[in-house]
Chains A and B, each alone.
Chain A
Amino acid sequence: MAQNATAPNSPIAPLPYVSSRDSRLVAPATGGPLLEVRDLRTWFPIRRGVFSSTVGHVKAVDGVSFNIQPGKTLGMVGESGCGKTTVGRTILRLIPKHAGEVYYKGQDFFAYHGEELRNLRRQMQIVFQDPVSSLNPRMTVGNIIGEPIEVHGIARGAEKREMVAGLLKRVGLDPTYAARYPHEFSGGQRQRVGIARALALSPDFIVCDEPVSALDVSIQSQILNLLDDLQRERNIAYLFIAHNLAVVEHFSDEVAVMYLGRIVEQAPARELYANPKHPYTIALLSAVPEPNPRPKKHRIVLKGEVPSPSNPPTGCAFHPRCPLTRQLAAGASANETVQITSGGEPVRVMGRCVHEAPTLVPKKGEPGHVAACWFTE
């Protein structure tokens, strides 16, 4: 008696659930990654005119690959609009892919359908970036969190209510809040309801899309400590998307930096922060605001316009804004450089950056440190 969560009173539309308690379809793989993403591409059509004909594509995700080990966290950072949310949603099949593969415990996730897919999805949850649009406004918070518990036959009645109360408490909310509706909560409280819901089914993989950005630092720490404890207790793996670089560093084992639909650098968390290679990563780290009213840090300021994923720059997508290529061009011979227009101004950059796209290659530093830049060692 599988129920489909697209029923009108479901807490979130796109995530169907299963009924039976422990119908884990896929045996835990031994040693292999929990999740393997290969050359994933998600393109959105751009439609124009009376017939809505497709005139191009927004290549929101354009060739992303990574692995996540069981019980580990991959942090994901990058410019707003670079495709982080789209990666998370495509992996969970909440939006269709254009190309690429996702393996879950070694099995092709895109090959599952119907009941099997629903079973699998119970193990993969998401905490949405925008809690307003992901919580059904007509359900009490208790029902939002409790429904999947009941639908999956984990508990009902008093036992279910107790579980809900326990989950609310764990995310730092008063259990009596179960009777309230989402609009009666503050932004950060709603975000925590989303977290409690994702935890309800004891998943082994959670996409956390900006899970703590709406929270004050004390509750943020409580939630991060909680996610950390659960990871230890239940071996949960996280794809952790966030803009707060200090939080990402703290929380992640590995960090991937995205720029315009691609990963441009990836490394163990500490290594990335201590030894960033890609100029975009360096700029990003330099822009982190310090909790100090007399900031001293030197800032790298990116010039030029933010590029559009429907019309990405040639070669290295970062070249119109890259401070390194400008710097190098200033000291290079004329035949190595070209003039481009960036932010309405003529700028000299290295020809290679404009003509050839760099790929992710190992860089000097700890093993596992890769970056896509022609000119960093």
Chain B
Amino acid sequence: MQQPLLELKNLNVGFDTERGLIRPVRDVSLSIYPGQTVALVGESGCGKSVTALSILRLIPQPPGRILGGEVLLEGRDLLKLSEKQMRGVRGKDIAMIFQEPMTSLNPVYTIGDQIVEAITLHQGVSTREAYQIAEESLRDVGISDPHRRIHEYPHQMSGGMRQRVMIAMALSCKPKLLIADEPTTALDVTIQAQILELLRKLQQERGMSILLITHDLGVVAENADVVGVMYASRVVEFATVEDLFDRPQHPYTEGLFRSIPKLGAHHERLETIPGMVPNPMRFPAGCKFHPRCPRTRGCANAIKSGRAEAAIPKGSNVPPDVVQAVDAEGESFPALRKCIEVEPTLREVHGSHWAACHVTENFDKAPGTVPQLEHRREVVPVTIEGDALPDVPVTNAAAMGLKA
């Protein structure tokens, strides 16, 4: 068995704020194998970006603080490196595409200067060669007229172009791990497909691993091998992409899937997960999802009406104790006592499927190891390779308004 390229073991990160310590990353464990794409999804503010930044030790310190855990890159704990050693890792071993390109592009330098600086720093080539590499990598990410564009400043580009400049910059140094925080949100779907295809190609050629942070579950479904779902600073589910979509285990994941607006279904009202994301200053006790959780409610109601057997899955070992809990609006509702008292940890509930919910089959006996999944997806989406047009226009002739 291969060794993971990157392993996070019980990573804990805090921010010292005026109002006290907040913990945006709590006991996060996951692993990424060479050539694998691991997607990280979850509610806005749940700690995905802070997790990513902590891997590179880029969280602002202070107020940020790594409270504990390990970040192992090929077995080496990055948290123990000196700042100088860490500079060698950044950009070269691990490159990052930041969520908001404007925060990481310097407005007073042309984009060419910025890419070239990154290339000469890590690859030891001449400035002239670096300009050539830079132009090529801009063309790779679909920027037209790179010869002219390379002399432009970030404010002269559209949102999506800036994002692609960031991607070009990150890829130009051939990293082993690419951390891509919302890399394609500012892009239209055709360019998004092109960029994701480029990433797949580089992944195959170079064996590059990708940590893909995104809200687009379509992008996740089509590109990830393995998916981690975060909620309230924790990983609450970790599974192969097929397994996660086929049988989500955590009620939060189920709620996410229900909220996806579907193309072609002109809904009047979109489904949501009722309630609010908890404020990390005032996380609820027990399971952080309990104020919004339909499962604990459902179980509690079933117990109250004498159907405890049917409601609580086998081997989950949740006592049929019902208490009144309080939701985000301050309303009271019936919940399982265990849910509001004990925070569930991530456990392997089925073969290769980790979840953190008491009310899951066999949860009580499941082992709580660092999740490792050396899985590669079964179906690779349509590729953009090949020079001739595929037979697409023929099959779409009707849609294109062509008479047969």
Contact = CB atoms under 8 A, between A and B. Distances in A.
Contact of A217 (B143, B189, B260): B260
A210 B158 CA distance: 13
Contact of A293 (B43, B242, B396): B242
Interface stretch (B314-322, B339-347, B379-387): B379-387
Given A130-B102, A288-B263, A299-B193, A219 B382 contact: no
Interface residues of A, number: 94
A189 B401 contact: no
A323 B145 CA distance: 22
A324 B221 contact: no
B188 A301 contact: no
Contacts of B395: 298
Question: Which of A210, A244, A363 has the most chain B CB atoms closer than 10 A to its own CB?
Answer: A244
A96 B65 CA distance: 46
B185 A213 contact: yes
A276 B272 contact: no
Given A225-B272, A299-B382, A276 B399 contact: yes
Contact of A277 (B157, B159, B245, B401): B401
A301 B45 contact: no
A187 B260 contact: no
B279 interface: yes
A85 B158 contact: yes
B384 A301 contact: yes
B207 interface: no
Contacts of B381: 289, 295, 299
Nearest to B275: A172
Nearest to B387: A345
B144 A210 contact: no
Given A294-B242, A301-B384, A214 B400 contact: no
Contacts, number: 257
A299 B164 CA distance: 22
A245 B99 CA distance: 21
Question: Which of B45, B192, B392 has the most chain A CB atoms closer than 10 A to its own CB?
Answer: B45
B259 A218 contact: yes
Interface residues of B, number: 89
A288 B270 contact: no
Question: Which of A216, A273, A300 has the most chain B CB atoms closer than 10 A to its own CB?
Answer: A216
Given A80-B191, A243-B187, A301-B193, A187 B159 contact: no
A221 B392 contact: no
Contacts of B390: 301
B145 A310 contact: yes
B280 to A, nearest CB: 10
B256 interface: yes
A81 interface: yes
Given A189-B44, A217-B217, A250-B266, A377 B190 contact: no
B109 interface: no
Interface in B207-249: 215-223, 241-242, 245-246
B377 interface: yes
A293 B142 CA distance: 26
B276 A174 contact: yes
B181 to A, nearest CB: 8
B394 interface: yes
B115 to A, nearest CB: 18
Contact of B263 (A192, A249, A306): A249
B231 to A, nearest CB: 10
Contact of B45 (A186, A225, A284): A186
Contact of B272 (A179, A218, A311): A218
A72 to B, nearest CB: 15
Given A217-B260, A249-B264, A298-B392, A290 B221 contact: yes
B266 to A, nearest CB: 5
Given A218-B273, A221-B270, A246-B261, A282 B188 contact: no
Given A188-B45, A298-B392, 12 more contacts: A189-B44, A214-B215, A218-B43, A225-B270, A243-B188, A243-B189, A274-B264, A288-B263, A290-B221, A301-B382, A310-B148, A327-B389
Closest 7 CB pairs of A and B: A80-B160, A188-B44, A289-B218, A327-B393, A221-B270, A376-B401, A81-B158
